[in-house]
Amino acid sequence: MTTVPLRALIFDVDGTLADTESAHRSAFNHAFAEEGLDWHWDEPLYTRLLEVSGGKERITRYWGQVHGGVKAIHAGALADTVQRIHDLKTAAYERMVQDGAVQLRPGVLHLIESACNEGLRLAIATTTSPVNIAALLRSAIGPDWKYTFQFVEDASTAPCKKPHPQVYLQMLQRLHLHAAECLAFEDSANGLKAASGAGLRTIVTPNEFTAHHDFAGALRVLPSLQGTTVAELRGWHAAASR
């Protein structure tokens, strides 16, 4: 049997490329204060809310929990309020990234550079916003970060959030590759479900917010990408392809 070669690596962003969630939580709380809300998302609450993919979706879910019995606000007015809060949150997060509050996770940059040098194609498949992606990668990699990743699928192009596989299915179409030719990198159960739903083998690097998730079905579960080599990726991929 001919082994299918590994041709591309597809990365999630939040929690996978970088430990962003603490900064996101702080940015949400900053936005709530600016909006005059008495909300505060502590770590246990935010950890539960991370089961919902997407910032605006988390705000909407929490609004329903806090004001579940309130029917006076029109759906359009609620959507406007959620958008305004999310815009404030995005601006706060971008300032934090620019101030150096968020760094790439251990081993990420080295693996990306090694993969590029060995001819693997790199892509991003995430449910976060384009602004968040640009802020992080511009700070971590530099102004030419877009040349590192051939394609980016994000919240603006894939409205169905993880665990729906839409973002990965669209990425495979753009790459013109089969799922068997790629590896996905994720940090959460929703991300793993999304990648698996598109037929992708997935390497999971949990963080403090996702360590309790069920990662059954992952190709590998690693504490980080520190020390992970392209040769190891090719070996794991080849073994799973047999």
**Of 47, 70, 98, which residue sits at a domain end?**
98
- Residue 76 has a pLDDT of 72
pLDDT digits (tens, 9 = 90+) for 81-128: 999 999 999 999 999 999 999 999 999 999 999 999 999 999 999 999
Contact 149, 124 (CB under 8 A): yes
Q: Is 12 annotated in the active site?
A: yes
- Residue 68 has a pLDDT of 66
Q: Which domain holds residue 71?
A: 21-98
Give the Å distances, CA to CA, from 36 to 71, 73, 104, 111.
20, 17, 32, 43
User: Could you tell me which of 93, 107, 95, 82 has the C-alpha nearest to residue 16?
Assistant: 107
The structural domain count of the chain equals: 2
Residues 163 and 81 in one domain: no
pLDDT digits (tens, 9 = 90+) for 155-202: 999 999 999 999 999 999 999 999 999 999 999 999 999 999 999 999
Q: Give the CATH number for residue 79.
A: 1.10.150.240
**Of 57, 75, 98, which residue sits at a domain end?**
98
Catalytic member of 12, 19, 154, 187: 12
